[in-house]
Amino acid sequence: MLDHGIEKARTFLAFRSAADGTWTMNEKLVALSDVTTAEVAAKGYDRGRMTDKLCLNSIRGERQWGAGEVISEYAVTMKCVETERP
């Protein structure tokens, strides 16, 4: 879990890896109280190396959410594939 603001929104995260080489991440963002957002989107990175960027559920413009309402929910699955090296 990750809280955003003081009692405003909470992210529930789940990560699962499988023996077949797949890796799945689930995220659900829920309003904890009545809240208004100007934009829900990923911003830049402070550190580390970014080679690919995946943005899901970008919500632009002002929106109002009621307590307990799901703001966004998604799952992404990646699969590691071995490639031949020269």
Sequence spans of domains, the chain: 2-43+52-79
Burial of 9: CB neighbours in 10 Å, binned 0-12, 13-18, 19+ = buried
Q: Is 31 exposed, middle or buried (0-12, 13-18, 19+ CB in 10 A)?
A: buried
pLDDT, mean of residues 40-67? 70
The more confidently predicted of residues 65 and 2 is 65
| Residue 26 binned pLDDT confidence (cut-offs 50, 70, 90) | very high
User: CA-to-CA distance for 78 and 82, rounded, in angstroms?
Assistant: 13
Tokens of 47: 């550190």
Give the Cα separation of 59 and 8 in Å (integer): 17
CA-CA distance, 13 to 71, in Å (whole number)?
14
Q: What average pLDDT does the structure give for the chain?
A: 82
**pTM listed for this prediction:** 0.69
